[in-house]
């Protein structure tokens, strides 16, 4: 399934819901399941049952585990059958259940993750960085899947503006993808770690490159090199693991329609199961935690010595997930 979080405007205000992306439609999973239950007549409380099994919040949905996912799949099949027969679907009280994708505002799949950890798992990226400074990849990198922690309050989704901070002259994109943790766990072995992955999304780890380089020279950071509003861009959807083999997926970045970066997930030295094993050692992971892959080789302007500018449109694409598109805009001050 391709799962999304989205915002809709109604006569009584705006609401954030979760849905499944079916062709050019966004299906409200919670209300679709209400409809499914009411038609089968096996419960006198379809709204209450649906709220428990498919709540309209992605993290709460993750907490439902295998049963919630199976229920969502069953609901999606129900919707597919109706759409293929050309039938409309509305809730028991006339609620709108299906939207054209362009009629809703897609958000990051998890609008506010519990935490953000970003790794450096692509060997090609590490070699490129080493060549820029005339040093080989440290031996220790092959022993430890190092990561830093980001700000979960700075997450934005597709088609939202990336605001260029006034304090940097070199803003940079980073072509990545990442996972959401789907269930709580600690001391997770790599051979069982796939059970903890709720799904995959595209990740643009926006960086103030000039500031970042200064901070790293002080043996600490990243700080303001990464900590900026709109700095963690995710979307456009979350693809569940049963529908995506991440062993070899094409990755690309376009700037104003021109391909700048191309890569492949097969270059990952550190797999997500190995990363999960390392991170979860004596530390609990929770549903809604996000872990990034790090930048693919040639996946940022720093490696290419090409720099984005205000007004540019950045499109990151990962095979099987989609395209994450955002425009760079200048920050305005009073």
- pLDDT of 331 over the 80 cut: no
pLDDT computed for residue 88 by the predictor: 83
Examine the fold and report which residue of 78, 106, 134 is the final residue of a domain before the chain moves on.
Answer: 106
Q: Are residues 212 and 93 in the same domain?
A: no
Examine the fold and report which residue of 81, 106, 131 is the final residue of a domain before the chain moves on.
Answer: 106
Q: What pLDDT digit, counting tens, does each position of 232-251 carry?
A: 999 999 999 999 999 999 99
Q: What pLDDT digit, counting tens, does each position of 3-33 carry?
A: 999 999 877 788 999 999 988 999 999 999 9
Q: Are residues 147 and 201 in the same domain?
A: yes
Q: What pLDDT digit, counting tens, does each position of 128-184 carry?
A: 988 888 889 999 999 999 999 999 999 999 999 999 999 999 999 999 999 999 999
In terms of Cα–Cα distance, which of 208, 205, 122 is closest to 167?
Answer: 208
Neighbours of 333 (CB within 10 A): 5
131-142 b/e (C-beta count within 10 Å ≥ 16 → b): eeeeeebeeebe
Cα distance between residue 157 and residue 286, in whole Å: 21
pLDDT band at 276 (very low <50, low <70, confident <90, very high): very high
- pLDDT of 334 over the 60 cut: no
Query: What is the domain-level CATH number for residue 31?
Result: 2.30.30.230
Average pLDDT of the residues of the chain: 94
Q: What pLDDT digit, counting tens, does each position of 181-220 carry?
A: 999 999 999 999 999 999 999 999 999 999 999 998 888 8
In terms of Cα–Cα distance, which of 194, 41, 27, 5 is closest to 100?
Answer: 27
Count of the separate structural domains present in the chain = 2
Domain of 304 in residue numbering reads as 116-330
Neighbours of 2 (CB within 10 A): 22
């Amino acid at each position: 399934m391709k799962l999304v979080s989205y915002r809709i405007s109604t006569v009584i205000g705006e609401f954030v819901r979760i849905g499944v992306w079916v062709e050019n439609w966004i299906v409200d999973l919670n209300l679709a399941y209400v409809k499914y239950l009411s038609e089968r007549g096996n419960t006198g409380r379809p709204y209450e049952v649906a709220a428990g099994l498919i709540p309209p919040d992605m993290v709460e949905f993750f907490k439902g585990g295998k049963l919630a996912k199976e229920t969502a799949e069953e609901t999606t099949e129900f919707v597919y059958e109706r759409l293929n027969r050309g039938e409309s679907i509305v809730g028991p009280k006339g609620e709108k259940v299906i939207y054209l994708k362009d009629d809703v505002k897609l958000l990051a799949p998890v609008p506010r993750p519990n935490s953000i950890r970003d790794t450096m798992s692509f060997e090609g990226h590490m070699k490129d960085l080493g060549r820029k400074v005339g040093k080989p990849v440290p031996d220790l990198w092959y022993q430890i899947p190092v990561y830093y922690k980001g700000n979960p309050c700075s997450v934005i989704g597709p088609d939202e503006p990336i605001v260029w901070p006034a304090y940097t002259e070199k803003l940079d994109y980073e072509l990545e993808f990442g996972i959401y943790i789907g269930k709580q766990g600690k001391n997770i072995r790599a051979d069982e770690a796939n059970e903890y992955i709720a799904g995959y999304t595209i990740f643009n780890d926006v960086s103030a490159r000039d500031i970042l380089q200064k901070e790293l020279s002080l043996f600490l950071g990243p700080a303001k090199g990464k900590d900026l509003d709109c700095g963690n861009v995710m979307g456009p959807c979350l693809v569940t693991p049963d529908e995506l083999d991440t062993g070899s997926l094409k990755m690309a970045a376009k700037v104003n329609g021109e391909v700048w970066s191309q890569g492949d997930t097969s270059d990952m030295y550190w797999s997500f199961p190995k990363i999960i094993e390392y991170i979860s050692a004596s530390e609990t992971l929770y549903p809604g935690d996000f872990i990034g892959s790090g930048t693919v080789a040639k996946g940022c302007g720093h490696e290419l010595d090409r720099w984005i500018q205000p007004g540019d449109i950045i499109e990151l694409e990962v095979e099987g997930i989609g395209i994450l598109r955002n425009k760079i805009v200048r920050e305005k001050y009073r």
